Amino acid sequence: MKKIVEQTDNLNTIDTLKKDLLNLGVGPGMTLLVHSSLSSMGWVNGGGVAVAEALMDVVTAEGTIVMPAQSSDWSDPSEWESPAVPEGWWSSIRDTMPVYHPQTTPTSGMGKIVEVFRTYPGVIRSDHPAVSFAAWGKNKAAILSNHQLDFGLGEQSPLARLYERNASVLFIGTDYQTNTCFHLGEYRAPHYKIEKKGAPIIEAGKRVWKEYQEIVFEVDIFNEIGQRFEASHQVKKGKIGQAKSRLFLLSEAVDFSEQYFTDRRSQE
């Protein structure tokens, strides 16, 4: 904390964050997909609570705020790398892993703001055990309902519903490698590869280990896609606190990534 305080030029509060959001172009009634890094903002009085409340105050209950709330620990242990576990444990892990629950299952690698937001009054979370989303505001239920287990970032996911509602994407101190909406473009481009995943769910009232289908994601090239996207599309840039931030249309980013992956796969 001392290091963050020393590196912070000005005190960040709910009110200063609200001004920063408005200056960037966030406003009342927007539908907003937020990716965030609290540490990039400098010291914030109230931490993730202040950020969540600033977003809610600016967007208002007439808008909708959505955040990825992924829980990658709820996955097949054969995929784990950080850390990997002995193969002899895999079967027991599959048999004993707690079932995903929207209210209690923690996120993995999503950051402190998301962890605060997902437990906030009025926030709901979708049912996918690995790639859920949390949402607050007017259209939260419509966006999060019927989140399909197979192909969890595809056409039967909150991303597709955000696309239909002309949502915007807000980066607070993050870059395109975290840009979840590029995944929808991956699905929409032809010739993707499919792999099997697994997680514990409740089916017919009983806990079962359920295998499901997912495409093979290519997150490692998302920053390259983002650079090309910015060269041809409007991306508003500014700072929220000390965090370099971006605001752009989700539909434009999805369409761009779809074309990028279509072209890329046609050359393979």
pLDDT tier at 230, thresholds 50, 70, 90: very high
- Do the beta carbons of residue 253 and residue 181 sit within 8 Å? yes
Give me the pLDDT at residue 1, please: 63
Task: Choose among 196, 189, 190: nearest CA to 216.
Answer: 196
Helix (H) or strand (E) holding 257: helix 250-266
Average pLDDT over residues 97-120: 94
* 86 Cβ neighbours under 8 A, 6+ residues apart: none
- Do the beta carbons of residue 51 and residue 83 sit within 8 Å? no
Q: pLDDT digits over 169-222, tens only?
A: 999 999 999 999 999 999 999 999 999 999 999 999 999 999 999 999 999 999
Average pLDDT over residues 130-145: 98
d(CA 237, CA 24): 7
Beta strands (DSSP E) in the chain are 31-36, 64-68, 124-125, 133-137, 168-172, 194-203, 206-215, 236-240, 243-249
Instruction: Indicate if the pLDDT at residue 34 is higher than 60.
Output: yes
Instruction: Indicate if the pLDDT at residue 6 is higher than 80.
Output: no
Give me the pLDDT at residue 140, please: 98
Give me the pLDDT at residue 5, please: 66
Entry pTM: 0.94
Beta strands (DSSP E) in 79-132 are 124-125
Q: Encoding tokens for residue 209?
A: 């280990």
Type of residue numbered 92: S
Give me the pLDDT at residue 83, please: 86
Q: Which of 6-10, 37-41, 108-112, 235-239 has the lowest mean pLDDT?
A: 6-10
User: How many other C-beta atoms are found inside a 10 Å radius of the C-beta of residue 28?
Assistant: 12
DSSP letters spanning 12-23: B-HHHHHHHHHH
Residue 157 CA: distances (Å) to CA of 144, 161, 187, 246 = 7, 7, 11, 23
